Structure 1
Amino acid sequence: MISAQDFCALLADHGFSLASGVPCSHFGGPIAHLSTQPGRYVPAPNEGSALAVAAGAALGGRRAYVMLQNSGLGNLINPLTSLVMTYQLPILTFTSLRGWPDPATDEPQHAVMGPATPGLLDSIHTPHYTLYAKDGPDEFSLILEQAEKDLAEQRAPFVLVERGAIGKAAAANDPHREGLAAAEAIRVVVATTPQAAVIATTGYTGRDTFAVADSPRNFYMQGSMGHASSLGLGVALTHPERTVVILDGDGALLMHLGALSMIGHAAPANLIHVVLDNRIHESTGGQATTSATTSFPDMALAAGYASAVTCDSEDAVRSAMAQAQAVPGPHLINVKTLPRTGTIPPRATNALSTLDIRDRFQDSLRQ
């Protein structure tokens, strides 16, 4: 293992002065360390944006690197192949190896991408190296020396990072100091819409929903971060007779904000979009999102939502849910939530298979 501080220091020694990325627990240490130094790290909403930031830095003459989870590698392929590789911009990318080498040791959403990651990079002729958990600063230095040769040839090498290869550091963030527990917010939302179809985003939101309000009417997303709102829109358009509630997170919504405009344009009257905003990527280590400088209600209204409000108490959530069901939507309810404390509930797939979740949800829609 290499410490987060040594990881960042060695990259700085090679002239890398800027990083961007999307949080992954594998990179929680470096992100936390860099976030304490203004101007060193740009928290990106998605992996493609992170790579584009690094590409812009490269165009401007600055060395930048990217950190991401391999589950989001698909978001990065377009700018990698059509921007970075086409314009031969020398950028170094670090991606975690979730679901590798044995997919059974990780969460189910990593089962496909884990084993496929090296081959995917091979298929587009991208050089890559692996940093193992047993490796230390010396091994990492050798990898950087190899990567430097690729960069000198205006290529974009990847370093694949095994779980435990990089040490941790305390996250720098600014979560809400006032609000309510996410689990309580979920409990209120589901209780006020007992017949609704519920789409719960990946991460701790799905875990909390399964723990406090499990129902066959709930669809628990495993992975595909940022797509709960689009999935919910598809369900709402297919079943206009059924109220559809999306339980989203601030980090997830930021990842694909364009969905707000799509929902506003489609104008599903039966859709209620609930955003649990705690200002952090909690399931990957508490790294800050950019929601502190973003108004989701203002954005939703500008995108065409029928209404949008912010709540910070159970009574306010209960009232907002009642109002949302009284008039046609779509509606957005932004809930200020507090960082979780205590034991985190297990994910739904500890008790149900992904096909169980799919089948019972589909059965509920037929009733």
Structure 2
Amino acid sequence: MISAEDFCTLLEARGYTTASGVPCSHFGGPIALLGAREGRYVPAPNEGSALAVAAGAALAGRRAYVMLQNSGLGNLINPLTSLVMMYRLPVLTFTSLRGWPDPTTDEPQHAVMGPATPPLLEAVGAPHHILRKNDGPSEFELILDATDKELTAGRAPFVLVERGAIGKVTVELPPEKLGLTAAQAIRVVTDALPGAMVIATTGYTGRDAFAVADRPGAFYMQGSMGHAPSLALGVALSHPERTVVVLDGDGALLMHLGALSMIGHMAPPNLVHVVLDNGVHESTGGQATTSATTSFTESALAAGYVSALSCTAEQDLARAVVAADAAEGPALVRVRTLPRTGEMPPRATAALGPEAMRDRFLNALDAGEPPQN
């Protein structure tokens, strides 16, 4: 293993001055260290944006690298092939190896992309190297020697990072006094709308929802970060007679913020969009999102939502959700939530299985009755 400090220092010694990325627990240490130094790390909403930021730095004569999870490689392919490769911009990409080499040792959402990661890079002609958990600084230096040559030759190298290959650092989150726990907020929302279908975003939100408010009409996403509102829109348009609630997160919504415009344009009157905003990517180690400088309520109204409210208390949240359900158009409710403490609940797929969850949700939807236990 290489320490997070050595990882950053060795890259800096080679002239890398800019980094961007989307949080993954594999890179929690480097992101924490770089994020504490002004201007060194750009927290991107998605993988394609991260690569484009690094490409811009390279275009301006700086050395830049990107850190991301391999589950997000799909978001990266377009700017990789049509920007970085086309213009031969020297950008180094670090990608975690989730679900590889044995997908059964990781979460089910990595089962496809894990084994596909090396072949996918080979298919687009991107050279790649593996930083293994037993490698130290000397092995990392050898990998950087190879990528330096590839960058000089106009290629776009990747370093694939095994779990445990880079050390972690402790991230101290500032104390937050206002807001609800995520579990409290989810319980309030689901109690206020007992007949609603529920789409829960990936990460800890889905875990909390499964633990405190499971119902046959609930669908828990694993992976596909940022796409819960779009999934909910598809359900809402297909069944206009049913209220559809999407339990979203700040980091997930920021990843594909354009979904607000799509939802506002289609104007489904049965969609209630709840954003649990704790200001961090909590399931990957607590890296900050950019929600502190983004107003979700104003963004939703500008995109065509008929109403948007922000809450910090249970009673306010319950009233806001009921009002959102009564609104003649999509409505957003943003609730400030607190950092989670204690052990996290299990994933829904550990108990149900993906296909069983799908079938249960469809049966509840077609039944046309309140989807409760």
TM, length-normalised to structure 1:
0.99
How far apart are 1:176 and its partner, in Å? 4.1
Post-superposition CA distance 1:184-208 (Å, at most 9, x none): 0000101111111100000000000
1:263 and 2:263 correspond: yes
Q: Which stretch shows the higher mean deviation, 175-184 or 341-350?
A: 175-184
Q: Pairwise mapping of residues 17-166 of structure 1 onto structure 2 (< 5 A)?
A: 17-166=17-166
Q: CA deviation at 1:171?
A: 2.7
CA distance in 1, matches of 2:175, 2:275: 15
Residues 231-268 of structure 1: CA deviation (Å, up to 9, x unaligned):
00000000000000000000000000000000000000
User: How much does 1:50 deviate?
Assistant: 0.1
| Aligned equivalent of 1:319 | 319
Q: How far apart are the structure 2 equivalents of 1:14 and 1:338?
A: 39
1:5-38 CA-to-partner distances (Å, cap 9, x unmatched) read 0000000011001100000000000000111111
Give 1:324 deviation, angstroms: 1.2
Distance across 2 between alignment mates of 1:273 and 1:166 = 37
**Equivalent residue of 2:66, what SS?**
strand
Q: Which residue does the alignment assign to 1:213?
A: 213
Quote how far apart the aligned CAs of 1:327 are: 2.4
Separation (CA, whole Å) in 1 of partners of 2:327 and 2:121: 49
Q: Is the 8 A contact 2:325 2:331 kept in 1?
A: no
Q: Which amino acid aligns with 1:122?
A: E
1:343 CA drift (Å):
1.1
Alignment pair present for 1:198 and 2:188: no
The alignment status of 1:303 with 2:303, answered yes or no, reads yes
SS at match of 2:345: coil
* Aligned counterparts of 2:89 and 2:224: Cα–Cα separation in 1: 28
Segments of structure 2 that go 5 or more residues without pairing to the other structure are 368-373
Residue number in structure 1 paired with 2:371: none
Q: How does 1:333-348 map to 2 (within 5 A)?
A: 333-348=333-348
Partner of 1:251: 251
Please, what is the CA RMSD of the aligned residues? Answer: 0.9
What is the alpha-carbon distance in structure 1 between the residues aligned to residue 218 and residue 349 of structure 2? Answer: 13
- SS of match in other structure, 1:334: strand
Give the distance between the partners of 1:92 and 1:251, measured in 2 at CA: 24
- Residues 297, 320 of structure 1: CA spacing in aligned structure 2 closer, same or farther, 3 A cutoff? same
2:278 aligns with 278
C-alpha deviation, 1:101, in angstroms: 1.1
CA contact (8 A) 1:176 1:336 kept: no
1:164-192 Cα offsets, whole Å, 9 max, x none, are: 00000123655743100000000010111
Matching residue's letter, 2:229: S
Structure 1: how far apart are the matches of 2:172 and 2:125? Answer: 37
Does structure 2 conserve the Cα–Cα contact (< 8 Å) formed by 1:175 and 1:280?
no
CA distance in 2 between counterparts of 1:269 and 1:175 reads 38
Residue 128 of structure 1 contacts residue 159 of structure 1 at CA under 8 Å; is this kept in 2?
Answer: yes
Match of 1:357 in 2: 357
Q: Indicate the percent of aligned positions where both proteins have the same amino acid.
A: 71
Is contact 2:307-2:327 (8 Å) kept? no
**Per-residue CA shift, 1:326-358, capped at 9, x if unaligned?**
221200000000000111101001101100110
Distance 1:118 1:365 in 2: 39
User: Corresponding residue for 2:239?
Assistant: 239
* Amino acid corresponding to residue 115 of structure 2 in structure 1: P
The secondary structure found in structure 2 opposite 1:335 is strand
Q: Which secondary structure does the structure 2 equivalent of 1:264 belong to?
A: helix
> Does structure 2 conserve the Cα–Cα contact (< 8 Å) formed by 1:173 and 1:280?
no
Question: For the Cα contact (< 8 Å) 1:172–1:287, is it kept in 2?
Answer: no
CA pair 133-208 structure 1, distance change in 2 beyond 3 A: same
Letter in 1 for 2:18: L
Q: Count how many residue pairs are aligned between Structure 1 and Structure 2.
A: 367
1:12 aligns with 2:12: yes
Task: Check whether the contact 1:305–1:331 (CA below 8 A) recurs between aligned residues.
Answer: yes
TM-score, with length taken from structure 2: 0.97
